[in-house]
Amino acid sequence: MVKARAYAATSATSPLASTTIARRDPNEDDVQMEILFCGICHSDLHQVRNEWSGMMPTVYPCVPGHEIVGRVTKVGSAVKKFKVGDLAAVGCMVDSDGACPECKAGFEQFCPGLVLTYNFPDKHLGGVTYGGYSDSIVVKEQFVMRVPGNLDLAGAAPLLCAGITTYSPMRHWGVTKGKKVGVVGLGGLGHMAVKFAHALGAHTVVFTTTASKKDDALRLGADEVVLSKDANQMAKHAGSFDFILDSVSALHDINAYINLLARDGNLTMVGASPDPLPVAVFGLLFRRRSFSGSIIGGIAETQEMLDFCSQHNVTSDVEVIPIQKVNEAFERLMKSDVKYRFSIDMASLKSE
Amino acid sequence: MVKARAYAATSATSPLASTTIARRDPNEDDVQMEILFCGICHSDLHQVRNEWSGMMPTVYPCVPGHEIVGRVTKVGSAVKKFKVGDLAAVGCMVDSDGACPECKAGFEQFCPGLVLTYNFPDKHLGGVTYGGYSDSIVVKEQFVMRVPGNLDLAGAAPLLCAGITTYSPMRHWGVTKGKKVGVVGLGGLGHMAVKFAHALGAHTVVFTTTASKKDDALRLGADEVVLSKDANQMAKHAGSFDFILDSVSALHDINAYINLLARDGNLTMVGASPDPLPVAVFGLLFRRRSFSGSIIGGIAETQEMLDFCSQHNVTSDVEVIPIQKVNEAFERLMKSDVKYRFSIDMASLKSE
């Protein structure tokens, strides 16, 4: 076993604080890496504060973080794709059963034996898995992605969750040149959605409740910005969208957006409102529209996304922080006070 | 102009009664037909009673009926597909603009210039269009379908609405051999859905709240029947359906069915609940499920459906009534007291 430095919460109400955790010695199929950057995802905050107690109760100490970019420091004897010194990345998953139809079809995220990067039973060391708010991690090769060398590493970290979460449904629903795509909500997920829709060649429209976000939306790649509170602006777009990605994770009027879809248009939720969203059936009947959801993406598709980002020069807009500011960052995240993702520079952990 | 016998309502609270209406002389592109059978659709009742006053207020007198089967009695000089004596059918639509992208793509039902078979402005005679509770009708050739000779005509009439409404989404979402398909609600629409799912080769499961419907569901072609109130029975099917068609037009727990969908599974509503249906977002995120709607089908697809019915010997299970019993039938329809569709034998109108 190897000792690793990490930031952990010891209860739902404790701040994250410096600690030491164990990482396993790499098995023959494992990659050990030094973590360089780790993005802060809203899920980290939910998990640390045990806000998903019904579905996924938090085991303490909890080390969150599933947007991990680093450098390989050791590889097991059977590892083929990585060598010491390579850039590598880990996202939300670190293992799955590998045998079920979902795994075989490249949808590890739907595997019943899925192991998440943190707060999931750890079959190697017991206890639960520990995430990326740490100076190192050991992960099965199959769940480690290559990081193209031209990507800014701090901005690449959020691609592992915010990136794949928005890229995957766009690819699934056929976003491409000639399509009209809407993005609802301009936060960590939404800003990635704008970049991907634009890079995929679609006419990209951002919906926002905040007029002041317009310039930033255009800078990120939007062709148009619509104030969703303005009924006239909304009406002009009725029945015209091929695809809308909705990143809002609270109760909101989803029918206002469903009505903007063209025939066979799809609205995909990537935000997870805890309250059910009331859907007007007539809005679906006319034009044969559909309303769906999507969650991250499989390992192969995550690698495809990183390669796409390399080709199109896409990374997340990040505010880089030292890990000592993580609790402050959590508070700011609650107020959406970040453009658009925090990325922790893990070099800061060396000074602990 | 030609006088036609019909049954019409003169107000939202009047019973339907015998009357005389005008039909236009056939134009060069028109087909005139003697109506032999007309199905009774729940829409007829909604329209007659002005229950859609917000969306489509009823103009009186109102002659409903959009499940029409008859025999051609006269054709305009430009008509090519029909000759006098042919069997023919008319569904929910009698005209569209013919020029918009929807029409060009075969989706006349989504044309902004769509003309419905009844209660829509009639550009030929003024007033509104009159439906199939009548002894004749005149319709543009393009909106008239051929009726294969081997179909029972009384049972064929409901294919023009209940049939295409259930056939179209099954084709769109890829129902075929090897797929697992659910049908929610066993009424006029649901019983057609069971027949189509079975004829398309899918493993067909009927969900019902009424144990007594089991034998009938199996007779109609179901492979399994699940009591939707029985949580254990429902749990056995979790995550296993490729497609579910939901014909329930009232508020109900849609999430119980969404959770039964496999990865990329789709639930399509063909029933139109007036109340929004609350959708739990987590049920959509996991397995990338989708929830959608569908309404009738285009003209070419309606013809395809009739030809499919001819090949697979599919018609609606009907209770044939004389038109003099139409008000009684409306009352029974309100109580779902029909297996599974009323079909009016229009010969009864001759005795008026």
Condensed to tens digits (0 to 9), the pLDDT of residues A242-255 reads: 999 999 999 999 99
Q: Name which of A56, A291, A296, A301 to mutate to probe chain B: the one with the most chain B Cβ atoms within 10 A of its Cβ.
A: A291
Using the beta-carbon criterion (under 8 Å), do B292 and A293 form an inter-chain contact? no
Q: Name which of A52, A285, A287 to mutate to probe chain B: the one with the most chain B Cβ atoms within 10 A of its Cβ.
A: A285
- Tell me the chain A residues in contact with residue B290 when contact means C-beta distances shorter than 8 Å: 266, 290-292
Question: B259 pLDDT band (50/70/90 cuts)?
Answer: very high
What's the average model confidence in pLDDT over A223-238? 96
User: Does B304 lie in the same domain as B157?
Assistant: yes
User: Does A103 lie in the same domain as A229?
Assistant: no
**pLDDT exceeds 90 at position A114:** yes
Using the beta-carbon criterion (under 8 Å), do B291 and A291 form an inter-chain contact? yes
A293: which 2 tokens? 């959801």
> If you average pLDDT over every residue of chain A, what do you get?
97
User: Does B199 lie in the same domain as B123?
Assistant: no
User: Does B194 lie in the same domain as B236?
Assistant: yes
Q: Last residue of a domain, which of A293, A319, A339?
A: A293
- pLDDT at residue number B271: 87
- pLDDT at residue number A1: 86
Residue of A nearest to B102 (CA): A263
CATH number for the domain spanning A344: value is: 3.90.180.10
By the 8 A CB rule, do A261 and A267 touch? yes
Q: What is the ipTM of this complex?
A: 0.94
Q: How many beta-carbon contacts under 8 Å exist across A and B?
A: 104
| Distance, CA of B223 to CA of B218 (rounded, Å) | 6
Chain B residues within 8 A (CB-CB) of chain A?
55, 102, 105, 107, 110, 169, 172, 255, 263, 266, 269-273, 276-295
Question: B303 pLDDT band (50/70/90 cuts)?
Answer: very high
For B307, the domain range is 2-161+297-351
- Those residues whose C-beta lies under 8 Å from the C-beta of residue A15, and which sit 6 or more positions away, are A9, A327
Q: Last residue of a domain, which of B258, B277, B293?
A: B293
What's the average model confidence in pLDDT over B134-163? 98
What's the average model confidence in pLDDT over B2-31? 97
* Number of separate domains in chain B: 2
- pLDDT at residue number A7: 98
What's the average model confidence in pLDDT over B88-96? 98
Question: B302 pLDDT band (50/70/90 cuts)?
Answer: very high
pLDDT tens sequence across B170-181: 999 999 999 999
Range B280-318 burial, b when 16+ CB lie within 10 A, else e: bbbbbbbbbbbbbbbbbbbbebbbbbbebbbeeebbbbb
- pLDDT at residue number B63: 98
- Those residues whose C-beta lies under 8 Å from the C-beta of residue B120, and which sit 6 or more positions away, are B94, B114, B128, B129
User: Does B303 lie in the same domain as B262?
Assistant: no
- pLDDT at residue number A17: 98
User: Does A278 lie in the same domain as A303?
Assistant: no
Q: Last residue of a domain, which of B273, B293, B313?
A: B293
Q: Where are any strands of DSSP class E within B92-169?
A: 93-95, 115-116, 136-140, 145-146
> If you average pLDDT over every residue of chain B, what do you get?
97
- pLDDT at residue number B55: 85
**pLDDT exceeds 90 at position B273:** no
User: Does B31 lie in the same domain as B125?
Assistant: yes
User: Does A208 lie in the same domain as A97?
Assistant: no
Chain length of chain A: 352
CATH number for the domain spanning B185: value is: 3.40.50.720
Percent of chain B with pLDDT over 70: 100
What's the average model confidence in pLDDT over A140-152? 98
Using the beta-carbon criterion (under 8 Å), do B293 and A289 form an inter-chain contact? yes
**pLDDT exceeds 90 at position A10:** yes
- In this complex, which of B107, B270, B277 lies closest to A263 when CB atoms are compared? B107
User: Does A286 lie in the same domain as A218?
Assistant: yes
What's the average model confidence in pLDDT over B295-307? 98
- pLDDT at residue number B186: 94
User: Does B201 lie in the same domain as B170?
Assistant: yes
Q: For the whole model, what pTM was predicted?
A: 0.95
- pLDDT at residue number A297: 98
**pLDDT exceeds 90 at position A92:** yes
3-state secondary structure of B330: helix
- Tell me the chain B residues in contact with residue A172 when contact means C-beta distances shorter than 8 Å: 288
What's the average model confidence in pLDDT over B267-282? 93
User: Does B265 lie in the same domain as B305?
Assistant: no
- pLDDT at residue number A196: 98
How many Å lie between the alpha carbon of A107 and the closest alpha carbon of chain B? 9
Dihedral sign of CA atoms A298, A120, B259, A296 in order = negative
User: Does A59 lie in the same domain as A143?
Assistant: yes
Phi and psi at B182, nearest 5°, equal -110, 150
- Tell me the chain B residues in contact with residue A102 when contact means C-beta distances shorter than 8 Å: 263
Radius of gyration of chain B (CA): 20
- In this complex, which of B107, B172, B273 lies closest to A281 when CB atoms are compared? B273
The strand pair at A277-279 and A93-95 is best described as unpaired
Residue of A nearest to B249 (CA): A281
**pLDDT exceeds 90 at position A272:** no
pLDDT tens sequence across A291-347: 999 999 999 999 999 999 999 999 999 999 999 999 999 999 999 999 999 999 999
Element (H, E) at B195: helix B188-199
**pLDDT exceeds 90 at position A95:** yes
- pLDDT at residue number B310: 98
- In this complex, which of A281, A292, A295 lies closest to B277 when CB atoms are compared? A281
